């Protein structure tokens, strides 16, 4: 009993001492009134968070709700967030409105190939720039940085011409005339995404943090640079590959401009292009459109939720200035 009592007493003492100190501070700066303002600050941040969260979430909720409504409900003048009856049939109908299996396959195929190839060549190039001091390194690196600044929208027109005039492809002769070139081919859809230099930059940043000793010691064991990269660097680069992978994946999956100009046959459409087909119809079937929108975004959301950490790390690494 006594123990507890004394404990309480000492605690009280400590607390009162603290209060005294706080009081002194408050007396010294009467305008501050720290305790009150702190609460007000916390409440206001909470209000901001809730408000912004609601504003962010509403369009998504509307998308989900519309995808489960009938067209009749959509046309009715009242605002209805919750559909009377969940119309899951909209999803099935939307997927039959056009060859959605094919579109999804196209998108997955293009994206997966882009991700695999860019992970391979970007990490290898990044490693070389981070670790090997070769002739012309600075020049090539500056070239690469300049290339990073060139937006794809600027090279869109000449790239299209080059793809159309690609020699010995799609019925073209060796001078690139006569046929359609790489238009409406997977190669045409994939190639420009591999050429971006952002990934090299990202990997280089990452490999720069490795101790130089790793290379030196691998060398003593008779490892060539390439083998050092494969055997030592690759197993250690899961974070950077995950970051680059998810950024490349979302970037390629979400791309609209390039597939728009590169494809005109229904067979080669990616999901983003296919979505806009609903828009082009005389009467827009909003419920099917929203259902298709959700289907096309699900893979991105799943990936984002799993690899959130790496996604953010990738964005931040790209934002760091050279």
Closer by beta carbon to another protein, 15 or else 54? 54
Q: How far is the CB of 14 from another protein (least distance, A)?
A: 19
Q: How many CB atoms lie within 10 A of CB 169?
A: 18
Quote the CA–CA distance of 62 and 56 in Å, as a whole number.
11
| Closer CB to another protein, 6 or 161, in the complex | 161
Which DSSP category does 171 fall into? T
Complex with another protein: residue 14 or 298, whichever CB lies closer: 298
Candidates 274, 294, 319, 293; CA nearest to 102 is 274
Least distance (Å) from another protein to the CB of residue 5? Answer: 33
CB of 18 vs another protein, minimal distance in Å: 14
- Give the integer Cα–Cα distance in Å for 248 and 118: 8
Q: Taking the complex as a whole, how short is the minimal distance between the CB of residue 103 and another protein, in angstroms?
A: 12
Residue 315 three-state SS = helix
Q: In this complex, which beta carbon is closest to another protein, that of residue 28 or of residue 82?
A: 28
CB of 88 to another protein, least distance (A): 19
Q: What angle do CA 152, 98, 183 make, to 5 degrees?
A: 35
8 A C-beta contact, residue 115 and residue 248: yes
Helices 89-96, 100-131: axis angle to 10 degrees equals 80
Q: Closest approach of Cβ 34 to another protein, in Å?
A: 6
11 vs 17, beta carbon nearer another protein: 17
**In the bound complex, what is the minimum distance in angstroms from residue 6's beta carbon to another protein?**
31
Nearer to another protein, 68 or 200 (CB): 200
Closer to another protein at the Cβ: 57 or 168? 57
d(CA 245, CA 119) in angstroms, rounded, equals: 7
Least Cβ distance, residue 75 to another protein (angstroms): 6
From residue 86, give the alpha-carbon distance in Å to each of 70, 96, 289, 297. Answer: 9, 19, 16, 20
Going by C-beta distance under 8 Å and a sequence separation of 6 or more, which residues neighbour residue 30? none
Q: Which DSSP letter does residue 232 get?
A: I
39: left (phi over 0), alpha (psi -120 to 50) or beta: alpha
Q: Please give the span between the terminal C-alpha atoms of the chain, in angstroms, as a whole number.
A: 66
DSSP result, 124-152 = HHHHHHHH---TTHHHHHHHHHHHHHS-H
The CB-of-288 to another protein minimum distance in angstroms stands at: 11
Closer of 17 and 48 to another protein (Cβ): 48
Q: Which is nearer to another protein, 10 or 38 (CB)?
A: 38
């Amino acid at each position: 009993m006594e123990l507890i009592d004394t404990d309480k007493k000492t605690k009280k003492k400590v607390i009162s001492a603290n209060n005294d100190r706080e009081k002194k501070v408050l007396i010294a700066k009467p305008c501050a009134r720290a305790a009150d303002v702190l609460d007000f600050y916390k409440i206001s941040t909470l209000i901001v968070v809730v408000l912004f969260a609601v504003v962010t979430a509403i369009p998504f909720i509307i998308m989900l709700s519309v995808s489960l409504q009938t067209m009749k409900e959509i046309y009715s003048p009242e605002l209805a967030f919750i559909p009377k009856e969940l119309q899951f049939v909209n999803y099935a109908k939307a997927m039959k409105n056009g060859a959605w299996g094919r579109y999804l396959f196209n998108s997955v195929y293009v994206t997966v190939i882009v991700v695999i190839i860019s992970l391979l060549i970007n990490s290898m190039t990044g490693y070389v720039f981070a670790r090997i001091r070769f002739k012309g390194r600075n020049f090539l690196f500056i070239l690469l940085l300049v290339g990073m600044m060139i937006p794809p929208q600027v090279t869109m027109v000449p790239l299209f011409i080059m793809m159309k005039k690609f020699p010995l492809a799609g019925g073209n002769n060796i001078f690139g005339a006569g046929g359609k070139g790489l238009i409406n081919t997977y190669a045409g859809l994939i190639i420009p995404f591999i050429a971006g230099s952002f990934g090299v930059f990202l990997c280089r940043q990452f490999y720069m943090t490795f101790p130089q000793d790793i290379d030196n010691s691998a060398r003593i064991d008779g490892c060539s640079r390439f083998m050092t990269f494969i055997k030592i660097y690759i197993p250690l680069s899961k974070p950077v590959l995950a970051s680059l992978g998810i950024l490349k994946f979302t970037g390629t999956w979400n791309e609209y401009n390039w597939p728009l100009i590169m494809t005109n046959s229904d067979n080669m459409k990616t999901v983003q292009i296919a979505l806009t087909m609903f828009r082009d119809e005389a009467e827009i079937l909003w419920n099917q459109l929203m259902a298709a929108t959700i289907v096309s975004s699900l893979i991105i959301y799943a990936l984002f939720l799993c690899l959130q950490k790496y996604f953010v790390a990738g964005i931040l690494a790209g934002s760091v200035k050279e």
